[in-house]
Structure 1
């Protein structure tokens, strides 16, 4: 999850009337709840802005904040603005009285550290949703809203699939409008369970939230996002249940081809790679061509006379789904 931490304990300040306050101006609510994991400004996430914002609150006699002042900027206006906006909304304090028993106000100072963890997208995937990084094409692509980290797949699990203990990964193409709202969802790779496919798109249309893509001028534009939603049965500690049923990982035809030329000088060049039907559960990590070339020099191929020659190397991989020989498509008893 996103980390926003209050770094300093409450600091008593001078009361509103300027006299010295011998009492600590204590929060009545947990300062850790003033900024939650869903509050990171989406523009700061997109631009990877981090920093620490120092603030001072002027607190009224009723324990409510009256004014927020940024005492130390994070260096990013969106983080500073979010700090004051959130603490003004959520901070509450115990009322204080002077030696005559009259309620008085005062000040409270603290800092909030805004930090994006490196594994933000991994944590997002734990909610069931993940963006297909291998197929993102826009230079400033849409960014999932932090609230999607808290998607509760169990609360949306299709009852029939839950009863049948069915799991699966649903590949989708999400169409977004210029505000980042999901306006269309198409299943590109089925989980082989219709209820799971249907529920994944329904969940994206109802709860999918994105910061929109931007064009080169910084203007929000419509876009498409290839994504995957993983339905995983809720696990109960210590419980024994029938194993989950899910799609076999290699259920769809798939083909991949890579060609590369190795010159008589031992230099690899002109590498080309193509793949079709890559399963959702087996994401392609980069391009295999990246493993070759560069400054590496290989031992060249030779002809029958031992003379170095140029050769083109081709590698092919294929998945074929077909009936078992001699059995056709019938189901065994």
Structure 2
């Protein structure tokens, strides 16, 4: 069975932008898996950098993290050019302008499925209050596979958010990403979801 997961996130935009391009719709279907890659049972994660014009159309796509399959890489960009729809970027005056957007797609055939999502559970001191919902973050990895940026998407509160990003930076790494060209800086993208439990709850579970 072919499995496709997708994560979209905005790249840091120039200071003149009031709003970066925003993904509206991608409308992926099971048949969107690149046919030649599916025939060869090729799987992998592709991170991309998209150029979006002032009408919300993708005008260029470059691979910043190759899946290792040229077919998957080119198929991913072709799919994004064809199907991705954006709300155009807006500058400080409110006018439509072009911008950039990062997107990661995980293509997987068979089991275990490949995913761009990372899940962690953290133990908090008994004195703290655990967030009612997972804290989510989007994280960028450099050419060495190390985290360079952690962007909180769903917050659990200041101290908790800082803990999430600090622990992520210390614990998480990926295989060093390779871009499609020496002129393109390698950047890998992942989505992090963190759930919490309190230290006293852990202790009570381990008592005889």
Q: Could you say which residue in structure 2 is the equivalent of 1:13? A: none
Give 1:158 shift. 2.1
Give 1:217 shift. 0.9
Counterpart contact for 1:166–1:246, Cα < 8 Å: no
Across the two proteins, how many residue pairs are aligned to each other? Answer: 135
From the superposition, tell whether residues 275 and 185 of structure 1 become closer, same or farther in structure 2 (CA, over 3 Å).
closer
Tell which structure's C-alpha radius of gyration is larger. 1
Counterpart contact for 2:47–2:66, Cα < 8 Å: yes
TM-score, normalised with respect to structure 1: 0.34
Instruction: State the SS of the aligned residue for 1:191.
Output: coil
Instruction: State the SS of the aligned residue for 1:188.
Output: strand
Q: Could you say which residue in structure 1 is the equivalent of 2:142? A: 276
Q: Could you say which residue in structure 2 is the equivalent of 1:121? A: none
Give 1:318 shift. 8.1
Give 1:186 shift. 0.5
Give 1:183 shift. 0.7
* Residue 22 of structure 2 is aligned to residue 143 of structure 1: yes
Q: Could you say which residue in structure 1 is the equivalent of 2:103? A: 227
Q: Could you say which residue in structure 2 is the equivalent of 1:215? A: 91
TM-score, normalised with respect to structure 2: 0.52
Give 1:184 shift. 0.6
Identify the structure with bigger relative contact order (alpha carbons < 8 Å, sequence gap 6+). Answer: 2
The aligned runs of 1:14-93 (5 Å cut-off) are: none
* Residue 41 of structure 2 is aligned to residue 165 of structure 1: yes
Query: How far apart, CA to CA, are the structure 2 residues paired with 1:167 and 1:230?
Result: 8
Give 1:277 shift. 2.4
Which of 189, 194, 197 is 2:70 aligned to? 194
Unaligned runs of at least 5 residues, structure 2: 116-139, 153-158, 164-169, 177-208
Which of 132, 138, 145 is 2:9 aligned to? 132
From the superposition, tell whether residues 220 and 275 of structure 1 become closer, same or farther in structure 2 (CA, over 3 Å).
same
From the superposition, tell whether residues 221 and 162 of structure 1 become closer, same or farther in structure 2 (CA, over 3 Å).
same
